[in-house]
Every structure is written in C-alpha cells, then in structure tokens.
Structure 1
Amino acid sequence: MASVTAPTTTTAADGDEVVHEFGPILRVYKSGRLERPLVAPPVGPGHDDATGVDSKDVHLGDYSARLYLPPAAAADGNRLPVVVYVHGGGFVAESAASPSYHRFLNRLAAACPAVCVSVDYRLAPEHLLPAGYEDCIAALRWVLSGADPWVAAHGDLGRVFLAGDSAGGNICHHLAMHHHAHHPDATPPSRLRGAVLIHPWFWGSEAVGEETRDAEGRARGAGLWMYACPGTSGMDDPRMNPMAPGAPGLERLACDRVMVCAAEGDFLRWRAHAYANAVAAVKGEAAVEMLETAGEGHVFYLFDPDGDKAKEMLDRMVAFVNADAA
C-alpha cells in the first residue's frame, strides 16, 4: 500500500471531475469511473518455472483464492504447513493475481515449503468494508475445512499460519481476533500456529513513537480508511487501532506466535512496533518476533524482490513458519 492522502477535488483533462484522490493508489471521478494507477495487469495461475510451484484459482462465490503447491508436496505423505496470505493495497487495490504478489507467493511456497492460499477478497469502493474482512474470514474457514483437494492431500491443518502486508496485515490481525467466530453448527476451529504482519496498516487518533502529532497529518493517515469503511467509528475503530481504549484484548489473538515486520522509511513503522510491544505484553516476549528493515520503505520487497533485504525478510518468514515444525 502506498502512502495515502486525504481526499482532494480536482478536474481531469477530459473534463471528468476527480472527487477523491488517495496518492497513487486510487482516483475516483465524479462520473463513477475509478483508476488504480499502480495496479499492473493480472497474471494467471499455472506452473512457475523458476520455483517449480504449481498454482490454481478456486472461485468461492463473492471471493476467490489462488492456491500454491510446491514441488515438495510430491513426496509421499509429506504434510506441509499452510500459509493463508492476504494482499495489501489499502483495501481498494491489488489482487491475488497481481504480478508482484503472484511472484512472492511462488517464492514463499517453494522456500518454506508450504501450501499457500492467497485470498482474493472484494475491494472498496465497489464493495465497502467490512466486505473484505468478511471474505477473508470465509476464506480462512474454507481452508480449515480442508475442502480443497490440495489442502486436504498435502496441508497440515495443525500448522496453519496467517500472513499479509499493509491492509492485508490489518486483515490478518482481524482474522486472528475473530478466528473463533464460527457458525453455530460448525466445529470450533483449531488454533492458528502463527501470524506474520508485514508493514501492517494500523493508525489511531493519538500518535505513537515519532509519528506526526499534526492533526491534519493524522487525518491524512486515515483518509483512505474512512473512505473504504464509511461506517467506521473513526481512527480508533478497533479494526484500525487494535490498541485503542475499549478495543478487544490482544490476549484473544488465536495464534501462538506473531511476527511483525517494519521498514525504517515507512510512516507506519512506529505503529508496527507499538503493536508488537502490545502483543508481547499479553502473550510474552517469546511469542513475538520483530523485524525492522533498515533503509527501505513500505512493502519494499514487492518492488525489489531480488534485493538482499527482500531475501532476508523471506528467509525470516520461512524460519518463523518452520520454527516449531513437528
């Protein structure tokens, strides 16, 4: 997710008035036309020659999922961890078919190795929040049901992890907090083994660390959230500020361990540290791993996937997933 700005009103060259503009991530015209300037054309699933990973799309009604099966799954009886990944994009952009996410999931699946499930949830403003949260909760339930043949044959449902970046990191927190919410006739779900929140998009009315204290700056930090979730109570909505007064206690996180990634040049850096500290306060320091990448910005690993720091972050994620392998 790129840095977001408050809504502006300008006039486009073709005479169609721009009524909302959020940095380079979303432009909304008076006519209803939408532009997502950063989003590259989607890529299809299939066999990835570089990693040997196979992928497929599964359509599940309002949402879909792209599944990744690494070569290691071919070993007889080899049960692999399952990683449910939630892409970023400010709740308004990107998809599981975005080239940068498809490349990253191929690499993550091969490196762990793991069965990976990348959730393609509905985006705002066509589908305002909480639609995206609801799709991801449904997708997690679907994965845990073992309904898909790849998951059933090769996944270890006792080793399920969440992972996501930016808005996807925000959604991962929501999933871990509401993991136990299930239908009355459903079997209560098992605990998740862990969650990896990469540069998670959290915010709040009160600054933490070295965040801006300027009221206008704080409003800009939440402008896109307010647009994507018009029913929100504001910056301290527990979905945007898990540490807000009155927010559900973090002891409810339905995972044994949490890894939080931050980037030195990201304006969300201090919020990531505050979240990691808050989780450690209730779950114990041993349950939380913090990684800050020096000299890099928000979701840098998607833009420079072959860089040393992107490789380091991937290695740390792999180690986190495999830390307590059976």
Structure 2
Amino acid sequence: MGSFPHIVEDCLGVLQVLSDGTVFRSKTIHFNMPVIHHQNSVDFKDAMFDKTHNLHLRIYKPASASNFPPNGRPHKLPIVVFIHGGGFCLGSRTWPTCHNSCLRFASGLNAVVIAPDYRLAPEHRLPAAMDDAASAMRWLQSQALRENGVSDAWLNSGEVDFDQVFVLGDSSGGNIAHHLAVRLGGGSTELAPVRVRGYVLLAPFFGGVVRTRSESGPSEALLNLDILDRYFVMVP
C-alpha cells in the first residue's frame, strides 16, 4: 500500500502543500480586527474583471463626494488601485486588512478605490500575479473607453478622473506594483485614456539569493526568515 500524502510545506497552518501536490488553504482565518462597514460614507461592490480566470475586484466610492467644492469648479474623483499583500500565496480583496484599508483610502482621499484579486501561488506561480494586475489595469481602460457597450455605472458617471490614477501595493502587492510600473513604463501610454500618475510601495516584499537589509536584521515574530524562505520556495 502506498503512503498517505504528508505535509511538505506548512505556513502557520494557513497554507499547506502536501507531498502529492495538493494545496490546502484555510478559509477560516481568524483576524484580531473587525471588518469596518462605513455604510454612510463609502459604498462598495464587487465586479468581475477576468472571466478566463474568474477574478474579481472590489470598487469603493465615497457616498457623499461633492462634485462642486467651494471654488465652484467641478471636481472629479481620482482612482486608487490597491494591490493586497500576502506573500503571493495568501490574501484577498475581502480580507479585513485589505477591505478596511480601502474604505479608509476612499473616505480619506475622496477617491474611487479599486482592489483586484490575483491568482495565488503555489497553484499559480509568478508571473501570474503580475499578469493579473495588468489585466485589472486593462479592465480599467475598457471602462474608460466603454468598450463593447459594457461599462460600470460608478466609473462612467462623469465623476471619475481616468487621467489621475495611482497604484498602491502592500507587501507582495508592492512587488507586483513595481513590476506593473516596469511593464507599463513612463506615462503608461498603452493604457490611454487611463494614465498612471504614480506608484506607492508600502513595505514592498522583495527577496532573492542575497539577503536584503531587513532580512539580515532581527527576525520578527511572525515574518521570520523561515517563513519568508518558505514563501520564496513556493512562488518562483
């Protein structure tokens, strides 16, 4: 009789890879933070942006955004694309860490925020995540162009400024944002009329054969070197 599959990689019990290649990813992760619902200040909804890979994104829009500030001139809402973290292996637009941040960005910046999901490793190895981020940006372009007669009412109400787009990436999302910037290049001309004005990398997750400065310092309780090394084994 053959042996039963056994765990060969284990990331805090949340993600496990078995000897037969099966991947277990927990769906009951407990966060010691509540999900914020700013129902009176920000509206949000989900939309599919990639039918081929069944990928969705979440759109946040200030519910009471003023189109006419005190100077009387119309004001359009900038767009913030927020790419979540999770070591390329975990995370979702629905996680409290992502959702709560996007609510605050939409409210505090008075901006439309778009948070796309992307395919996760180890089932989908890099550069799948980078490809999906690019796909989300092309979806945004299709909204600006109103291609195929299909457009989202929130993005085509005349309140959104496709010429003022900013990409934020957290942790591995920062890595993805970096590669997105390299792929699109200065001015992001291939996305016209969408124009990316800047990229913000929040504690970007980079690593390689040579230790980075942060990896060489004191190890954190959660993101220790053993965990970080396991991530990079799974995602190449």
Range class of TM-score, shorter chain: 0.7 to 0.9
Corresponding residue to 1:66 among 42, 58, 70:
58
Following the alignment from structure 2 to structure 1, what is the Cα–Cα distance between the partners of residues 215 and 14?
A: 22
Contact preservation (8 Å) 1:205, 1:218: no
In structure 1, the partner of 2:162 is 157
Instruction: Look up the equivalent residue of 2:230 and give its one-letter code.
Output: G
- Structure 2 CA distance for partners of 1:130 and 1:53, relative to 1, 3 Å: same
Q: Alpha-carbon deviation of 1:220?
A: 6.3
Q: Which runs of 5+ in 2 are unaligned?
A: 69-73, 145-150, 218-223
In structure 1, the partner of 2:204 is 200
Aligned length: 204
Contact preservation (8 Å) 2:17, 2:23: yes
Q: Alpha-carbon deviation of 1:124?
A: 1.6
Between 1:140-149 and 1:101-110, the stretch displaced more is 140-149
Map 1:305-324 → 2, pairs under 5 A = none
- Structure 2 CA distance for partners of 1:37 and 1:120, relative to 1, 3 Å: closer
Q: Alpha-carbon deviation of 1:206?
A: 2.8
Following the alignment from structure 1 to structure 2, what is the Cα–Cα distance between the partners of residues 96 and 116?
A: 11
Contact preservation (8 Å) 2:81, 2:114: yes
Contact preservation (8 Å) 1:179, 1:189: no
Contact preservation (8 Å) 2:62, 2:107: yes
Q: Alpha-carbon deviation of 1:144?
A: 3.1
Instruction: Look up the equivalent residue of 1:174 and give its one-letter code.
Output: H
Contact preservation (8 Å) 1:68, 1:115: yes
In structure 2, the partner of 1:26 is 15
Measured against aligned partners, the alpha-carbon deviations of 1:125-174 in whole angstroms (never above 9, x if no partner) come to 23222221111101012113324332232221111000121111110111
Q: Kindly indicate whether residue 84 of structure 2 is the aligned counterpart of residue 87 of structure 1.
A: yes
In structure 2, the partner of 1:227 is 234
Q: Which structure has more RCO (C-alpha within 8 Å, separation ≥ 6)?
A: 2
3-state SS in 1 of match to 2:156 = helix
RMSD (CA atoms): 3.1
Following the alignment from structure 1 to structure 2, what is the Cα–Cα distance between the partners of residues 70 and 111?
A: 9
In structure 2, the partner of 1:120 is 117
Contact preservation (8 Å) 1:85, 1:162: yes
3-state SS in 1 of match to 2:216 = coil
TM-score when scaled to structure 1? 0.55
Corresponding residue to 2:67 among 57, 71, 75:
75
Following the alignment from structure 1 to structure 2, what is the Cα–Cα distance between the partners of residues 96 and 82?
A: 16
Q: Alpha-carbon deviation of 1:119?
A: 0.5
Contact preservation (8 Å) 2:67, 2:75: yes
Identity among equivalent positions (%) equals: 34
Measured against aligned partners, the alpha-carbon deviations of 1:2-28 in whole angstroms (never above 9, x if no partner) come to xxxxxxxxxxxxx75211123455222
Instruction: Look up the equivalent residue of 2:58 and give its one-letter code.
Output: R
Instruction: Look up the equivalent residue of 2:210 and give its one-letter code.
Output: E
Following the alignment from structure 2 to structure 1, what is the Cα–Cα distance between the partners of residues 185 and 193?
A: 6
Measured against aligned partners, the alpha-carbon deviations of 1:50-85 in whole angstroms (never above 9, x if no partner) come to 552111111121221100011244636531110001
Map 1:147-296 → 2, pairs under 5 A = 147-153=151-157, 154-180=159-185, 191-209=195-213, 211-212=215-216, 221-229=228-236
Q: Alpha-carbon deviation of 1:100?
A: 2.5
Contact preservation (8 Å) 1:72, 1:113: no
Q: Kindly report structure 1 stretches of 4+ aligned residues shifted beyond 6 Å.
A: 217-220
Contact preservation (8 Å) 2:140, 2:194: no
In structure 2, the partner of 1:96 is 93
Corresponding residue to 1:131 among 128, 132, 145:
128
3-state SS in 1 of match to 2:154 = helix
Following the alignment from structure 1 to structure 2, what is the Cα–Cα distance between the partners of residues 190 and 141?
A: 9
